[in-house]
Amino acid sequence: MTDLKTLAAECLAKLKEAGADAAQARLSLSETREFNVDGGEFSLFRTIFNRSMTLTAFRENKTGSVTLNSFEPADIERAVSDCMAGVESDKPDPARGIAENQGERELTYGAPEPDAEKFFARTRELKEEIEKRYPTIIMEQMINSHDKTESVYADTNGNLFHLLYGSYGVMLMFSAHRGDKSSSFMGCGYATVDLDTPLIEQGDVARVLADTEKQIDTVPVTGSFVGTVVLAPDCLSDLLGCAIDSFATGAALIDGTSVWRDKLGKEVASPDFTLSLAPHDPAVVLPQQFTGDGYLTEDFDLIKDGVLESFVAGVYVSNKVGCPRSKNTATGWLVMPAGEKTLDELIAGIDDGLLVYRFSGGHPAGNGDFSGVAKNSFRIKDGKIADAVSETMISGNLAEMLFHFVGASSERVKNGYSVLPFAAFSGITVSGK
């Protein structure tokens, strides 16, 4: 059995011997068990036994990094040599650095040991329940897996974090059909440690399947109008992720293209809008425990009451831009507070708009302009959900959109990573044929 802590210490020693001033070693052993359904039939049982080693070295403010999945001595020797060759290819940059000493941590969390037979039984039950409750749904693919990981992070400043964790993942891709007519393709999924609750009752699976069945018959929007758009949680997560990526993180801050580059401590959204990066929220199944620089993480508010509280910045970006280092870099762990109105009440206040489950528009432009197809979506008319729509585009600007936040639903969806409500934004251009 490989002792990851010992191996990590040996790697750090080799990097120091090779001339590194400072170094990091990340090692992991992982096991995956995965059941696949394709075209509505069970098709595959897959197991993966993998390992990974990433070595990063620093010398005179230069850095290089190597990743491999071998722990063989000869391969490690070559990795150390390649890593130092990478260092030599760099130019000195005083912004580089790693975390100071925070000591050692031993953490076990999630569900590291799988119950494969129970998981298969729950997976089969999910397939059968979908066939029974949602007869128009064709399951293009279901990928249900259990992932177990043991990992070690160690660095030359004395940080040593040893983690053992695991979870079950459920991922569905499907569409609804009647005769030759079909809905658009839709997907949903979540991570969980709970095999006592049927899988169909977790995440937002039941609602998304039911609404997809209502999207077989669609009506195109005629002309264009400016209205209010309600984004379903997964769609909201995608667009907020794009905003964070374009406005609040690494390269966009360093090259100055972020429209939030001088907005720290200033308003970037409606005063009612708050968004946290919260990898330690109780609903999160697998938290981000430490950053790439080796800092133990804490939750923080990215935007609080409309004010930008922090960028998402590691050591390098922090030093380069001159902003405080953020308490985590977990941009996939988004938490928004629940609103006071139910989804129905939120929709009741909208005269004309859309309920959007999926946005097909790629990554918005650097300035936040977005334009794309509202997929799996419904028209909202006079406070009620009306027809499903087709060939309907929505466009706007992400930075402006946050100022037009109308409200969030009291219902929130927990998918194991994020806790997000349905959220309404006004001022979005909706255009059809």
By CB under 8 A, the residues from 127 to 186 that bind another protein are: 138-141, 143, 173-175, 177, 180, 182-185
* Residue 222 sits in the site that holds another protein (CB under 8 A): no
Q: Helix or strand or coil: residue 244?
A: helix
Give CA–CA dist 339/315, Å, rounded.
35
Binding footprint of another protein, residue count (CB under 8 A): 78
* Residue 35 sits in the site that holds another protein (CB under 8 A): yes
Q: Which of 43, 101, 197, 222 binds another protein (CB under 8 A)?
A: 43
Picking from 247, 36, 42, the residue whose alpha carbon sits closest to that of residue 145 is 36
* Residue 262 sits in the site that holds another protein (CB under 8 A): no
Neighbours of 140 (CB within 10 A): 16
Burial 353-369 (b: 16+ CB within 10 A, else e): bbbbbbbebeebeeebe
Alpha helices, DSSP H, located in 18-115:
73-89
Give CA–CA dist 248/251, Å, rounded.
9
Site string for another protein, 292-311 (x = CB under 8 A): --------------------
**CB closer to another protein out of 106 and 131:** 131
**CB closer to another protein out of 6 and 43:** 43
Instruction: Please return the burial class of 248, using the count of CB atoms within 10 Å of its CB with bins 0-12, 13-18 and 19+.
Output: buried
Among residue numbers 386 through 405, which ones bind another protein (CB under 8 A)?
A: 390-391, 393, 395-396
**CB closer to another protein out of 156 and 183:** 183
* Residue 6 sits in the site that holds another protein (CB under 8 A): no
Among residue numbers 321 through 350, which ones bind another protein (CB under 8 A)?
A: none
| Residues 151/4, Cβ–Cβ less than 8 Å | yes
* Residue 372 sits in the site that holds another protein (CB under 8 A): yes
Among residue numbers 77 through 116, which ones bind another protein (CB under 8 A)?
A: 82-83, 85-86, 88-91, 93, 95
| Interacting span for another protein (CB under 8 A) from 149-157, 193-201, 228-236, 372-380 | 372-380
Sign of CA dihedral 244, 248, 250, 253: positive
Report angle CA 288, 294, 299 to the nearest 5 degrees.
40
Cα-flanking dihedrals φ and ψ of residue 319, to 5°?
-70, -35
* Residue 2 sits in the site that holds another protein (CB under 8 A): no
Q: Which of 254, 264, 307, 323 binds another protein (CB under 8 A)?
A: 254
* Residue 69 sits in the site that holds another protein (CB under 8 A): yes
**CB closer to another protein out of 131 and 369:** 369
